[in-house]
Amino acid sequence: MRTSSTSSRLLAATALVAALGLTLSACGGGDDDNGSSGSKGKSSSGGTLTYWASNQGTSLDNDKQVLTPELAKFTQQTGIKVKLEVIPWSDLLNRILAAATSGQGPDVLNIGNTWSASLQATGALLPFDDATFAKIGGKDKFAPASIAAAGAAGKDPAAVPLYSMAYGLYYNKKMFADAGIANPPKTWDELVADGKKLTTGGHYGLAVEGGNGSENIHHAFVLAKQRGSDWFDASGKATFDTPNNVAAVKQYVDFIAKDKIAAKGNAEYAQNQTITDFATGKAAMMMWQSAATSIKSHGMNPDQYGVVPVPTQQAGATGDAGVTSMVAGINLAVFKNSKNIDGALKFVNFMTSDAEQKTLNSTYGSLPPVKAAQSDPAFQTPDLKTLASVLGSSAAPLPQVPNEAQFETLVGTAVKDLFADAAAGKDVTTDSVKAALSKAQQQMPAS
């Protein structure tokens, strides 16, 4: 009797364990339905695309509101549904990594254009060769500078430009007038001199985003370029600690360290406090990309500030010495594993059409990389005209090398630490800058 009772209980218990297993998998089944992003491609053939959008607007929700009606237009035109996911910047790269590793990802996605070469190296993105370009209206519809920031030189681009941006020098008109400065600076010497005049009583001449590694390398890149110097040689090898690069970084850090035209607190800025400082009159100048929307959201009107190109070493410099901005922007890529490449390309074509380019770029305050859309009145405001001319004539793409992410991390962090030194009152010398950059360079992988 006892034996059978034991075994029946054992049976019951085993059943319980089995049921537990069942619940788990049942639960999985449930998740499968609402948890999938359509990424497995099963559903794509039926005419659904998954689109990963980066966060361009004031919030994730704002992006959804902006994009949803546009996607509806696309569905109306083509019958293809688009499942939209807006991904915060903090997650985007990891999500792309996960997608590349697993082969399960979106059909179309946004990438920061500086990531292009890195992501190109994974082979996860569809290369845009001539045939592919033909399907989206040809390579020539895009501005060449933006195309140059879509992949390594000599290879088919891994993406196409979607939103373009460029750095400009934003200056507060009233503060300039109050300080008796007639014109915004054209050279760095003028900028420092003006900055010193403007730095009084809790106000500063300039604000910089010192705690943000990406911002740091964007400026370091431009300052080095103006000295004719690059961060990688032709073979893709890192050349961080050349005298010119050291001088470039030092010049940038000196805004806090030596010139003292930027507040020490800027060394910590990593959440766009620069814009807040500028818009609230705490700082009279900043170098930023396409800031109109954000400035406005902080309550500063467009007629209160002006935008001019970032200064150069000598006034009227041309060529490399005249470079005043990196080519900033967001690219649109197609995931190679997409089961619906044709649909994906239709979507790319739609997003880079004149009408969408006008709508989206004017909403986000960016510039259209599609030439035909650039002449639209929406982009003829004084500040956007300045930025467009920068993009057209004096912007250069960041190094398009597979190790760009390492460059951004290592040099960005090195500059951040130098800013921290400067803010703590430690000396920032040519030697200390060189040491930091040499160290960063030696940590770069060999390839």
The residue within the footprint of another protein, chosen from 136, 149, 162, 275 (CB under 8 A), is: 275
Question: Which is closer to another protein, CB of 101 or CB of 393?
Answer: 101
Residue 413, class by beta-carbon neighbours within 10 Å (0-12 exposed, 13-18 middle, 19+ buried)?
Answer: middle
Cβ 13 to another protein shortest distance, Å: 4
Is the C-alpha dihedral spanning 112, 367, 168, 90 positive or negative?
negative
Binding to another protein, residues 424-443 (CB under 8 A): 424-425, 439-440, 442-443
Q: Is 409 in the site for another protein (CB under 8 A)?
A: yes
Binding to another protein, residues 212-231 (CB under 8 A): 213
Cβ 63 to another protein shortest distance, Å: 9
Cβ–Cβ < 8 Å for 366, 164: yes
Q: Is 2 in the site for another protein (CB under 8 A)?
A: yes
Q: Is 35 in the site for another protein (CB under 8 A)?
A: yes
Binding to another protein, residues 284-323 (CB under 8 A): 293-294, 297
Cβ 114 to another protein shortest distance, Å: 13
The residue within the footprint of another protein, chosen from 181, 193, 317, 420 (CB under 8 A), is: 420
Give the distance, in angstroms, between the CA of residue 248 and the centroid of all CA atoms in the same chain: 22
- DSSP readout, 238-273? B-TTSHHHHHHHHHHHHHHHTS--B-GGGGG--SSH
Cβ 23 to another protein shortest distance, Å: 8
The residue within the footprint of another protein, chosen from 187, 244, 272, 314 (CB under 8 A), is: 272
Mask for 96-115, x = binds another protein (CB under 8 A): -xx-xxxxx-----------
Q: Is 121 in the site for another protein (CB under 8 A)?
A: yes
Q: Is 406 in the site for another protein (CB under 8 A)?
A: yes
Cβ 38 to another protein shortest distance, Å: 10
The residue within the footprint of another protein, chosen from 247, 317, 321, 405 (CB under 8 A), is: 405
User: What is the crossing angle of helices 60-78 and 354-364, to 10°?
Assistant: 170
Question: Which is closer to another protein, CB of 226 or CB of 274?
Answer: 274
How many Cβ atoms are within 10 Å of 185's Cβ, its own excluded?
22
Question: Which is closer to another protein, CB of 213 or CB of 368?
Answer: 213
CA-CA distance, 241 to 233, in Å (whole number)?
12
Q: Is 197 in the site for another protein (CB under 8 A)?
A: no
Q: Is 156 in the site for another protein (CB under 8 A)?
A: no
Size of the residue set binding another protein (CB under 8 A): 96
**Residues contacting residue 108 through CB under 8 Å, at least 6 positions apart:** 49, 50, 51, 52, 332, 333, 334, 335, 338, 344, 347, 348
Beta-ladder partners of 54: 87
Say whether 181 sits in a helix, a strand or coil: coil
Cβ 140 to another protein shortest distance, Å: 30
Question: Which is closer to another protein, CB of 93 or CB of 247?
Answer: 93
Region binding another protein by CB under 8 A among candidate stretches 56-64, 192-200, 223-231, 313-321: 56-64
Residue 282, class by beta-carbon neighbours within 10 Å (0-12 exposed, 13-18 middle, 19+ buried)?
Answer: middle
Q: Alpha helices of 199-242 — where are they, by DSSP H? A: 213-225
| Residue matched to tokens 């879509």 | 150
Say whether 82 sits in a helix, a strand or coil: strand
Region binding another protein by CB under 8 A among candidate stretches 147-155, 190-198, 260-268, 390-398: 260-268
- DSSP readout, 98-160? HHHHHS---SEEEEEGGGHHHHHHHT-B----HHHHHHTT-GGGB-HHHHHTSS-TTS--SSE
Binding to another protein, residues 344-383 (CB under 8 A): none
Tokens standing for 343?
């649909």
Tokens standing for 422?
């400067």
Q: Is 89 in the site for another protein (CB under 8 A)?
A: yes
Binding to another protein, residues 163-182 (CB under 8 A): none
The residue within the footprint of another protein, chosen from 9, 173, 174, 237 (CB under 8 A), is: 9
Cβ 231 to another protein shortest distance, Å: 15
